[in-house]
Amino acid sequence: DRPGGWHSMTPETRTRLEEGRIAMAKAALQLNADQEKLWAPVETSVRDAFKAREAKRAEWAKKREERRADKSEGPSKRPDLAERYEQMSNNLAERADRFKTFSTAFKPFYASLSDEQKDVLRPLMRQLSPGFGHGGGRGPHWAFGGGWGHQSLSPDDGPDYAGAPGGDKGIC
């Protein structure tokens, strides 16, 4: 694990920061009463994506510990390439579903915003969009969050991606 940073924070700290992002976006937009109603499903979708990402992070942490324990008992058997592709496919399908839910909620909300609010929202969306963002300029965002040779499908999906071909770090 990396010292400091997002991955070393407790889940509670990450949740607090994610809640702050949502509150900051809402405050910066200065929504009217009609927009508040349309914001609610967007906010719910963003929260659900944060929760799903946190659950994946916990799952990967558990798998990482299991791999470390297995290594002490000798070489471990990795899933074969077909199994890893299947896992990648499942993860992409989950992300696509979350993004579709978000997009469905976001479209009417975005249509209700003034041009000024849209200008305010654009830089905030990288922080709030489920399925991409938080990349910190680490390369192309192919398939909503990574390119060939990128660690996992999104840096926030976890420190390593056991289902990706090419190794524990998901290098294709």
The C-alpha atoms of residue 39 and residue 99 are separated, in whole angstroms, by 16
Could you report the per-residue pLDDT of 26-50, keeping only the tens digit for each?
999 999 999 999 999 999 998 988 8
Could you report the per-residue pLDDT of 146-162, keeping only the tens digit for each?
333 333 443 344 444 34
The pLDDT score that the predictor gives to residue 25 is 92
Look at residue 114 and tell me whether its pLDDT is greater than 90: yes
Could you report the per-residue pLDDT of 44-73, keeping only the tens digit for each?
998 988 888 888 888 888 888 888 887 776
For residues 58 and 159, the answer to whether their CB atoms sit within 8 Å is no
DSSP 60-81: HHHHHHHHHHHHHTSPPPPPPH
The pTM score is 0.65
Altogether, the residues listed in the chain come to a count of 172
Segment 68-93 shows an average pLDDT of 83
